A and B are shown apart, each in its own frame.
Chain A
Amino acid sequence: MRDFEYIEPKSVSEAVSALAKYRGKARLIAGGTDILITIKNGSASPDCLINIKTIPKLNNISHDQKQGFTIGPLTTLKAIETSPLINDKLPILAQAAHQIAAPRIRSVATIGGNLCQDTKCLYYAQFVQWQEPPCYRADGDVCYAVKGAKRCQAMAIADIAPALLCLNATASISGTKGDRTLPFADFFVGSGEVSLNQDEMLTAINIPDPPPQTTGFYLRHSLRGAPEFVIAAAAAVITVNDSTFTDVRIGLLGVNRTPIRAPEAEQLLIGNKIDDNLIEQAAQAAAKATRPLGDIFGSAAYRRKITPVLVRRALKQALQEVRK
């Protein structure tokens, strides 16, 4: 691996100052399960790694009546998967975390890292020597996945993201110029690209209390199960009252550049009686929100075709959860 400087900050302000000082040449390392792979294959070449796992108080899960839930960005996927609080109140997050990779990854990988992960497009995520000339994501000017593309075409595949979109979660962000909050709907820009300035880091994931009678289901589709990167996934969060959908939020992954909601599908269901035909119509409508790209894991046509299947199953599973 290339040589790099290594810093262990004791506070967020120390970390963001280091980011600012290195002007884009420093990267954060938490679990290390994404950044170290990109360094090893040469697609990332930071001069400095900033180990944020040494910053205290960024890895807990808490709840209060006013704020709702606050999850620190260093909370491991394993902690989320096994948290009694999350399993009780936000089970869709535990489901999403549980379906990522394998125990040897989840024990160290963090929720912040999952959200900020680099692109997994195989034309990029391979040894950089095999990319000649470099692609858009590697600061070049070509896309090998889509001939003639004018910019990176890779899709973001953070498994935690669709549930956060459905739960109206917001990101707390800190930088050298101060703190800010951003809805996760605006957090993802593209694959491996999030709305963080060079000198900023995620400091919390905030989730408002879902209304009573709300539950959800996350359905992840990949070729051979967990360790494979996702082809497409659907998250459904529903609020049910007396056989009626009082609220429906559908999140989709792997079918557009960023994780998205499916508003047309949602609107078909909200305020209406729970009915199989209507669910099927909504599932088909969800395909309208997709603008998938093809890659080695699945063609665009396949992703568009599998979307209604995943949405229908996620809605039905969510309904089963409500009835428990």
Chain B
Amino acid sequence: MTQEINLIVNGQSYPVSVKPNETLLDVLRNKLGLTGAKKGCDVGDCGACTVLIDGQPATACLVLAVSARNKEITTVEGLSGNGELHPLQQAFIDYGAIQCGYCTPGMLLSAKALLDENPQPTEEEIREYLVGNLCRCTGYSKIIEAIQKAAKEMGGN
């Protein structure tokens, strides 16, 4: 039974038809063309589909699109603004935190949610917060470093 709903993604309203069994991940990627969120496992284990819903990290492959209507969804496409990368994105590039890039959108959004809540996290706190985002390439060190560096820059030090 298709419903007409409004998804508010990165500040923009997208009217879309969805069936109840369509996940937010599939609708973002296949209907809205926002392919930043990745389908790594589709069963909630890897975190590659992490998006923010009302500022909180969420697992898009485990959210029914219909239940996300009228909420503020942020995808990695929404991190940059006015042609400029978010400090987190720039730090990931500068500090070698990206290899294949598949985990990166999820990592960036989890990191953003962390820094919104805790602007100067310790390394331990970063590792703990990112525990739901898996990376097969980097071994995590550069990702952690990039987040620490971005946090310093964003904290205005």
User: Are B132 and A227 in contact, CB atoms less than 8 angstroms apart?
Assistant: yes
User: Of the candidates B23, B50, B67, which one forms a contact with A104 in the assembled complex, judged by CB atoms under 8 Å apart?
Assistant: B50
- Supposing A102-B131, A103-B110, A107-B58 touch, asked if A2 and B21 sit within 8 A by C-beta, the answer is yes
User: Are B59 and A104 in contact, CB atoms less than 8 angstroms apart?
Assistant: yes
User: Are A105 and B1 in contact, CB atoms less than 8 angstroms apart?
Assistant: no
* Residues 78 to 115 of chain B near chain A (Cβ within 8 Å): 110, 113-114
Q: Is A108 an interface residue (CB 8 A)?
A: yes
Contacts of B34 in A (CB 8 A): none
Distance in angstroms between the alpha carbons of A2 and B64 in the assembled complex: 13
Distance in angstroms between the alpha carbons of A53 and B67 in the assembled complex: 9
User: Are B57 and A104 in contact, CB atoms less than 8 angstroms apart?
Assistant: yes
Distance in angstroms between the alpha carbons of A105 and B133 in the assembled complex: 11
* Residues 29 to 64 of chain A near chain B (Cβ within 8 Å): 29, 31-33, 36-37, 40-41, 49, 51, 53
- Is the interface on chain A under 10, 10 to 19, 20 to 34, or 35 or more residues? 20 to 34
* Residues 3 to 48 of chain A near chain B (Cβ within 8 Å): 3-6, 29, 31-33, 36-37, 40-41
User: Are A3 and B19 in contact, CB atoms less than 8 angstroms apart?
Assistant: yes
Distance in angstroms between the alpha carbons of A177 and B87 in the assembled complex: 57
Contacts of A2 in B (CB 8 A): 21
Distance in angstroms between the alpha carbons of A229 and B133 in the assembled complex: 16
- Is the interface on chain B under 10, 10 to 19, 20 to 34, or 35 or more residues? 20 to 34
- Supposing A2-B21, A6-B1, A41-B43 touch, asked if A105 and B64 sit within 8 A by C-beta, the answer is no
User: Of the candidates A1, A33, A49, A104, which one forms a contact with B47 in the assembled complex, judged by CB atoms under 8 Å apart?
Assistant: A104
Distance in angstroms between the alpha carbons of A41 and B63 in the assembled complex: 16
Q: Is B56 an interface residue (CB 8 A)?
A: yes
Contacts of A105 in B (CB 8 A): 44, 59, 132
A3, A4, A5, A102: residue with the most chain B Cβ atoms closer than 10 Å: A102
Q: Is B42 an interface residue (CB 8 A)?
A: yes
B21, B61, B66, B133: residue with the most chain A Cβ atoms closer than 10 Å: B21
User: Are B56 and A33 in contact, CB atoms less than 8 angstroms apart?
Assistant: no
Q: Is B20 an interface residue (CB 8 A)?
A: yes
Q: Is B16 an interface residue (CB 8 A)?
A: no
User: Are A101 and B132 in contact, CB atoms less than 8 angstroms apart?
Assistant: yes
Distance in angstroms between the alpha carbons of A90 and B129 in the assembled complex: 23
Contacts of B23 in A (CB 8 A): 1, 36
Chain A residue nearest to B50 (CB atoms) is A104
Q: Is A226 an interface residue (CB 8 A)?
A: yes
- Supposing A5-B1, A103-B57 touch, asked if A225 and B66 sit within 8 A by C-beta, the answer is no
Contacts of B1 in A (CB 8 A): 5-6
Contacts of B132 in A (CB 8 A): 101-105, 227
Within the complex, the shortest CB–CB distance from B149 to chain A, in Å, comes to 21
Contact with B along A89-119 (1 / 0, CB 8 A): 0000000000001111101100000000000
Q: Is A78 an interface residue (CB 8 A)?
A: yes
Contacts of B110 in A (CB 8 A): 103-104
Contacts of A40 in B (CB 8 A): 42-43
Within the complex, the shortest CB–CB distance from A94 to chain B, in Å, comes to 15
Chain B residue nearest to A225 (CB atoms) is B131
A-B contact pairs, 27 of them (CB 8 A): A1-B21, A2-B21, A3-B20, A3-B21, A4-B21, A6-B1, A6-B66, A29-B67, A31-B62, A32-B64, A33-B44, A33-B59, A33-B62, A36-B61, A37-B62, A40-B42, A40-B43, A49-B20, A103-B56, A103-B57, A103-B129, A104-B47, A105-B59, A107-B57, A107-B58, A108-B56, A225-B131
Nearest 4 pairs of A and B residues by beta carbon:
A102-B132, A6-B20, A107-B56, A104-B57
The interface of chain B, by Cβ under 8 A from chain A, is: 1, 19-23, 42-45, 47, 50, 53, 56-59, 61-64, 66-67, 110, 113-114, 128-129, 131-133
The interface of chain A, by Cβ under 8 A from chain B, is: 1-6, 29, 31-33, 36-37, 40-41, 49, 51, 53, 78, 101-105, 107-108, 225-227
Other 12 A-B pairs with CB < 8 A, given A31-B62, A32-B64: A1-B23, A3-B19, A29-B67, A33-B44, A33-B59, A36-B44, A37-B44, A102-B132, A104-B110, A105-B44, A108-B63, A226-B131
